Amino acid sequence: MRPAPTPDRTSKGDTTVPTAEDLGWNPYFASQLGPGDCEPFVPARIVEEQKSSYRLWSESGERIGEVAGRMLHAAAERAELPVVGDWVVVRPRPGGDRATIKRILGRRTKFSRKTAGKRTTEQILAANVECAFIVTSLNRDFSPRRIERYLTLAWESGSRPVILLSKSDLCPDPGRFVSEVESVAPGVPILTISAVTGEGLGEILSYLVRGQTAVLLGSSGVGKSTLINRLLGGPRLRVAPIRESDGRGRHATTCRQLVLIPGAGMIIDTPGLRELQLWQSEEGLDHSFEDIRSLAARCRYNDCRHQSEPGCAVLEARDEGALPPERLESYRKLQKELAHLSVRQDVFLRQEQKRKWKQIHKAFRNFNKRG
């Protein structure tokens, strides 16, 4: 079973009807449907996450979905609930445009970070994404260290990263920034783009393959919503000007939403991220810092920490100028952050296990009292 074609609700007056494959349905998701998922249950895709509900596309068109009470109660963490990009099984409610979300189909990829603040929990920003567009503008927002952090999470997610250097029309020498990004993102495609002049838009479309999904990630004010509007051919998403004082943007996008680009693939717009902490990103860190990992393979000791050990190829490359000191320092900082996160995750896991056992013992005592 698969969703029937559904109308594109992202554009006013557009009667284009995408197929299920346009929306990303494929054998990976179809194979997860079982006998219990037959009528009246249907698969649907989450296209917008609202305060207590979800906008989704299903075989009967666009609906507002709400998580079933049993599923909501069983979710120990927010990451166990649907996010934009998820495929879910829903039960349409009769006589309206609402549906109840029964379960989430297994995710092919997910882009996760640690929840902002002191809590040690996972926040999934988007799911089932093939391409992660990392957007930074060619102004005071530009930061190689932030790009390294985004790349680490992108590689860990299972999606392929592409770096977009936006607002090239405002930069007299984009090539200087491209060279700087190449030094921290070897092998990653880098596009200079402008939503004003149209520079780079054709190259972006080459990554928006029919049936595949991309996500836009970056700070507020880098032009994510403006870029989507240009790809859609009109002002469909709200945008806000940046502050002149510091070049930072205001949050024009307040929720994550998936948009279908006519004749191409899909793209998820996300609010600007002020805080981007890693979440289980060891493999992503190795991929982002492949140059340091290659150097480390030549160290005298297998457990070299690249601090002061003799025969350290990493330190030797730094001293000879082959490895920028700030890149090594960034690598150490992210390593330390992951190590600290791992300790906090262990503490959180023990607390959760203790809480669950208390609930089990309480339920057992109440059962005995009733008996």
Could you tell me which residue, 255 or 232, shows the higher pLDDT? 232
Give the burial string for 71-107 (b: 16+ CB within 10 Å, else e). Answer: beeeeeeeeebbbbbbbbbbebeeeeeebbbbbbbeb
Reported pTM: 0.80
pLDDT of 288: 92
Is pLDDT at 318 greater than 90 in this prediction? yes
| Strand 42-49 with 54-58, pairing | antiparallel
pLDDT of 212: 95
What would the mean pLDDT of 284-309 be, rounded to a whole number?
92
Q: Counting beta carbons within 10 angstroms of the beta carbon of residue 358, is it exposed (0 to 12), middle (13 to 18) or buried (19 or more)?
A: exposed
pLDDT band at 246 (very low <50, low <70, confident <90, very high): very low
pLDDT of 19: 75
Question: Do residues 326 and 316 make contact, with C-beta atoms less than 8 angstroms apart?
Answer: no
pLDDT of 132: 95
Could you tell me which residue, 367 or 302, shows the higher pLDDT? 302
Helix, strand, or coil here: 122?
strand
Average pLDDT, the chain: 83
Question: Do residues 266 and 45 make contact, with C-beta atoms less than 8 angstroms apart?
Answer: no
Q: Which CATH number fits domain 27-104: 2.40.50.140, 2.30.110.10, 3.50.40.10, 3.40.50.1780?
A: 2.40.50.140
Helix, strand, or coil here: 257?
strand
Q: So where are the chain's domains?
A: 27-104, 110-269, 289-352
Question: Do residues 152 and 331 make contact, with C-beta atoms less than 8 angstroms apart?
Answer: no
Domain 110-269, CATH: 3.40.50.300
pLDDT of 58: 75
Q: Which CATH number fits domain 289-352: 3.30.420.40, 3.40.50.20, 1.10.40.50, 1.10.150.20?
A: 1.10.40.50
pLDDT band at 249 (very low <50, low <70, confident <90, very high): very low
